[in-house]
């Protein structure tokens, strides 16, 4: 179980922030290894670890935002989060149904196309001020819509929000930072819902406290590294690298649907 948890932690930490979809990869792993129980607790632990990754990486920016709660950036984050939550609630049944894994190839392919398009988007100059990012309320709504649709597995949250930001003229530095900052309320809300669901379920702890701790630390460290890598790729216009991987993965899943390897 420990080896499986380590694999899950690495995958969660990397794919939560790299534009290749954490939910899609986790669903894929669960299907490959035939895991049916214990997923709720593992999901809570791994999501909590990636939440701390964002908080640690952007700790200085977060402190600045907290000292000015009604600044432009905070208002936009609230707008984005409300739009995301609304779309997620409206599409809840369809999103839950998509977690059977049968349509993962579509989400991976769509993410690949978005990253390719974003590659050729010109970028404005960043304001350099975290409290006054170059994002309008309309842009916040568009990004929130993208994030809401990214609740579908294999449609990368970071990839979708960063790509949509670049498409509507948000500076590259701010597109990446804003994408990760708006993940905080979403990951937190997801964690709360998963904890409530776990407490109301009959699931038992599938692993020891030590194994859980190891998985948490690995996901946290890998999460920090993947945030840094994603930031560099966006700034250096290298997002299309991930498109090639996603296209190959999508093709593999299409072939698997024909030959049923896993």
SS3 28: helix
Q: Which two tokens stand for residue 256?
A: 């698997």
Q: Could you tell me if residue 204 is left (phi over 0), alpha (psi between -120 and 50 degrees) or otherwise beta?
A: beta
Kindly report the backbone phi and psi dihedral angles of residue 17, in degrees, each rounded to the nearest multiple of 5, phi listed first. -115, -30
Burial class (CB in 10 A: 0-12, 13-18, 19+), 65: middle
pLDDT on residue 241: 93
Domain encompassing residue 35: 2-259
What is the Rg, in whole angstroms, of the alpha carbon atoms belonging to the chain? 18
Mean pLDDT by 10 residues, the chain (262 residues): 88 94 88 71 87 97 97 98 96 92 92 94 86 96 98 95 96 96 93 80 73 94 97 91 96 85 60
Cα–Cα distance measured from residue 177 to residue 216, given in angstroms and rounded to the nearest whole number = 23
How far apart CA 58 and CA 138 sit, in angstroms, is: 24
Residue 138: CB atoms within 10 A of its CB come to: 10
Asked if 134 contacts 128 with a C-beta cutoff of 8 angstroms, the reply is no
Question: Do residues 250 and 112 make contact, with C-beta atoms less than 8 angstroms apart?
Answer: yes
Q: How many domains does the chain have?
A: 1
Length of the chain: 262
- What is the pLDDT at residue 37? 62
| Contact call for residues 24 and 154 (beta carbons, < 8 A) | yes
Q: What is the pLDDT of residue 205?
A: 65
Contact 109, 250 (CB under 8 A): yes
What's the confidence (pLDDT) of residue 51?
94
pLDDT at 38: 62
Give residue for tokens 């190839």.
105
What is the three-class DSSP state of 128? coil
């Amino acid at each position: 179980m420990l080896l499986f948890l380590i694999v899950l932690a690495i995958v969660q930490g990397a794919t939560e922030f790299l534009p290749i979809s954490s939910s899609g990869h986790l669903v894929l792993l669960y299907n490959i290894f035939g895991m049916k129980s214990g997923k709720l607790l593992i999901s809570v632990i791994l999501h909590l670890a990636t939440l701390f990754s964002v908080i640690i990486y952007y700790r200085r920016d977060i402190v600045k935002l907290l000292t000015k709660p009604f600044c432009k950036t905070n208002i936009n984050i609230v707008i984005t989060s409300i739009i995301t939550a609304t779309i997620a609630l409206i599409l809840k049944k369809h999103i839950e149904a998509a977690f059977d894994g049968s349509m993962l190839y579509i989400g991976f392919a769509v993410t690949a196309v978005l990253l390719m398009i974003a590659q050729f988007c010109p970028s404005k100059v960043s304001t350099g001020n975290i409290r006054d990012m170059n994002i309008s309320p309309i842009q916040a709504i568009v990004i929130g819509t993208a994030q809401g649709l990214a609740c579908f597995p294999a449609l990368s949250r970071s990839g979708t929000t960063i790509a949509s930001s670049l498409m509507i003229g948000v500076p590259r530095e701010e597109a990446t930072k804003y994408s990760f900052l708006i993940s905080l309320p979403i990951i937190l809300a997801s964690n709360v819902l998963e904890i409530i669901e776990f407490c109301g379920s009959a699931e038992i702890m599938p692993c020891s406290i030590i194994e859980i701790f190891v998985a948490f630390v690995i996901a946290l460290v890998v999460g920090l590294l993947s945030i840094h890598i994603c930031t560099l790729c966006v700034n250096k216009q290298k997002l299309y690298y991930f498109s090639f991987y996603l296209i190959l993965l999508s093709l593999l899943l299409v072939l698997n649907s024909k030959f049923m390897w896993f």
